[in-house]
Amino acid sequence: MVDAVSTVWAKKEGVYGTDAVPTGAANGILTRNFSMKPVEMDRLDRNLDQLIYGAQSSGTSNKRMTMAYEVELAGSGAAGTAPRWMELLEGCGLDVPVLSAGVDAQQDFALAGTPASSLTQYGYWQDQLRKMVGSAGTFSLDFTAGAYPFLGFNWTGLLAATPFSKSAPGETDLSDWVQPVEVNTDNTSFTLDGYAPALRSLKLDANVATSIRNLVGKRYVRRGNHAMSGTMIVEATDIATKDYLSTLLSGTTVPWSLEHGTVAGNIIGIGGAKAQITDISESKEDDVLMWTISVTCTVDGGVPDISFSAE
């Protein structure tokens, strides 16, 4: 029997697909809702003609591993130092954080043509180790009132040379992971097109395209384009005060921003300059009219579709 207790270690690779050898002392990830599929593969069917009915055996191809987990969104504890989740975002296509000593860490999606980052990830179930190299992924984010904010990650990677073994992980140092603060009026501010509607939740998905490229002489996880989109659930505004319905009709792109946290070292900023409202649906909550505003974060005019900061 294997107990379902888990730990994850992740480290950026110096050379794609080469085991970066993460350790529990330096590379532990404080996860929740961890899951993995230790082997995914394609089947090679022969479809031979035969004299009897029935299934035929198949071969295996394109072996890979997938992993998913969530991490809490909080600062590093020191302004100007990148929190650990920014390294994970690099594996999803964001650039290396730009650090301003004692001020903040800033991170946007990397420009096309920028060398892609990849991660080696070790996933443990008790003492059962699974190793994944060359992993790339996609992410989502969730700020919901009355809860802690978090990032969700889904990864695809190659099996390491020895992907499975029995190895006690020992201690995992998670001291770099600072406790987040609740999403609420005291800790969180949000604006959409310069106005601050009452926010129930902000949920965005990066929709990063990942696929296994399986060629003669080259096999890797390809991270392609992305398209940030999601929803902002707010109390419906009086259109005489802020008319988001007209913004929807016009197709105009608008800025948005969210700042979370009040203490230096644990302040997170997220926003974009040109979001487009693509849909507004109405519902009731406690007899209050609510709007679910669907948005696409665009790169119109060459601006970043989303920017992260940790202050």
Q: How far apart are CA 98 and CA 250, in angstroms?
A: 35
What is the residue extent of each domain of the chain?
A: 6-310
pLDDT at 283: 97
Q: Which residues of 224-237 are buried (b: 16+ CB within 10 A; e: fewer)?
A: eebebbbbbbbebb
Ranges under pLDDT 50 in the chain: none
pLDDT at 3: 83
Q: What is the pLDDT of residues 112-140, one digit of tens each?
A: 889 889 999 999 999 999 999 999 999 99
pLDDT at 2: 80
Average pLDDT for the chain: 96
**Which of 187, 266, 275, 201 lies closest to 233 in space, CA to CA?**
201
Answer yes or no: are the C-beta atoms of 80 and 103 closer than 8 Å: yes
CA 169 → CA 6, 97, 128, 158, 281, distances in Å? 10, 29, 9, 21, 48
**Which of 224, 217, 102, 204 lies closest to 150 in space, CA to CA?**
204
| Residue 246 one-letter amino acid | S
pLDDT at 241: 96
Q: Which H/E stretch holds residue 240? A: none
